[in-house]
């Protein structure tokens, strides 16, 4: 007997942003290939996309080819594109938690999250986390996760994420960088099937410190850590000047790059492949992906939002779950 496939579960994200419309367009593009189910208020979906309310994830695969399956949550009101409603914030948070529970209970294969607006959640529900990634880690009961941004052209991981730039040098430690390298290595091996991952490590300072003339962290502890981990069997390059790591010839020499802070990682991938970048959280006990863009309030509801990153995020979640 052929077993009915389980769906990818998609949390709605910020209803006033582009999340509902790019999910709807993604369903239209993937309806024949990826079973999925959306968690949210049906009033927030575009009216030109057919949807059907289901009671369980198990119902979704049989429906997904002809209508977007919806596990409905009543947010209390419709959404106004571009204008967050503070009363929606607790429901946005709750839907993420429901998505995690469905995947962990084996009712769905993976979680794909639409963009949230952190200030709206903080204002409406006193959201206590810097972002999606940290909230998912708390829900999963894990202390450490890694945010990987991936496309066909580049995989990159920031060793520090949602902190101010002046906090990076003190937050970044030998222990935390080692953990990031180890988790990236494990993710490439276990999810992407790369037996011996090649990792390029960026320097923290311009020119990777230039021997201490532009910063001492590379000389004092980053390079010694890399040497130590090489001796343990890791295939590592660096520390390398970040401004020479991301051209085509350099990218061909590694499977993922480790950057030292948020923008050092995200600027290259968004420049190279803005529409197809996908956020993958490594270290969770389930698969989670997300499009690599925000809520885009300025174009929400206009019908011009590009769904490509959401399409790629759902497709990758499905592929990783099957691997």
Task: Give the annotated binding-site residues for a divalent metal cation.
Answer: 162, 207, 262
Determine how many CB atoms are found less than 10 A away from the CB of residue 19.
Answer: 32
Beta strands in the chain (DSSP E): 8-11, 36-40, 51-53, 68-72, 110-113, 146-150, 155-158, 198-202, 235-240, 256-259, 278-282, 288-291
Cβ-based neighbours of 298, under 8 Å, separated by 6 or more: 82
Q: Specify binding-site residues for substrate.
A: 132-133, 270, 279, 288
Which residue, among 323, 322, 312, 310, has the nearest Cα to 38 in the 3D structure? 310
Looking at the DSSP bridge assignments, the partners of residue 51 are: 68
Quote the CA–CA distance of 187 and 258 in Å, as a whole number: 13
């Amino acid at each position: 007997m052929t077993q009915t496939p389980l769906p990818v579960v998609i949390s709605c994200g910020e209803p006033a942003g582009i999340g509902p419309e790019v999910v709807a367009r993604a369903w239209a593009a993937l309806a024949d290939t990826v079973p999925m189910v959306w968690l949210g208020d049906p009033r927030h979906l575009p009216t030109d996309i057919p949807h059907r309310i289901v009671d369980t994830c198990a119902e979704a695969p049989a429906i997904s080819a002809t209508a977007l399956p919806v596990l409905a949550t009543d947010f209390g009101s419709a959404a106004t594109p571009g204008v967050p409603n503070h009363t929606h914030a607790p429901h946005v948070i709750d839907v993420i938690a429901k998505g995690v529970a469905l995947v962990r209970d084996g009712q769905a294969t993976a979680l794909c999250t639409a963009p949230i607006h952190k200030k709206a959640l903080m204002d409406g529900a006193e959201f206590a986390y810097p972002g999606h990634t940290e909230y998912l880690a708390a829900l999963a009961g894990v202390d450490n996760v890694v945010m990987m941004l991936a496309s066909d052209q580049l995989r990159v991981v920031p060793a520090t994420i949602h902190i101010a730039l002046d906090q990076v040098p003190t937050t970044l430690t030998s222990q935390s960088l080692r953990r990031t390298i180890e988790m990236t290595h494990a993710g490439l091996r276990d999810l992407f099937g790369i037996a011996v991952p090649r990792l390029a490590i960026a320097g923290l300072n311009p020119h990777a410190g230039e021997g201490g003339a532009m910063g001492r962290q590379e000389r004092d502890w980053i390079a010694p850590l890399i040497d130590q981990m090489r001796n343990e069997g890791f295939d590592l390059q660096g520390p390398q000047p970040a401004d020479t790591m991301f051209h085509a010839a350099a990218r061909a020499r590694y499977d993922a790059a480790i950057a030292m802070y948020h923008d050092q990682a995200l600027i290259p991938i968004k420049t190279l492949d803005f529409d197809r970048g996908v956020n993958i959280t490594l270290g969770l006990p389930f698969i989670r992906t997300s499009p690599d863009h925000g809520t885009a309030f300025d174009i929400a509801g206009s019908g011009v939002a590009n769904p490509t990153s959401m399409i790629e995020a759902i497709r990758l979640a499905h592929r990783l779950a099957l691997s």
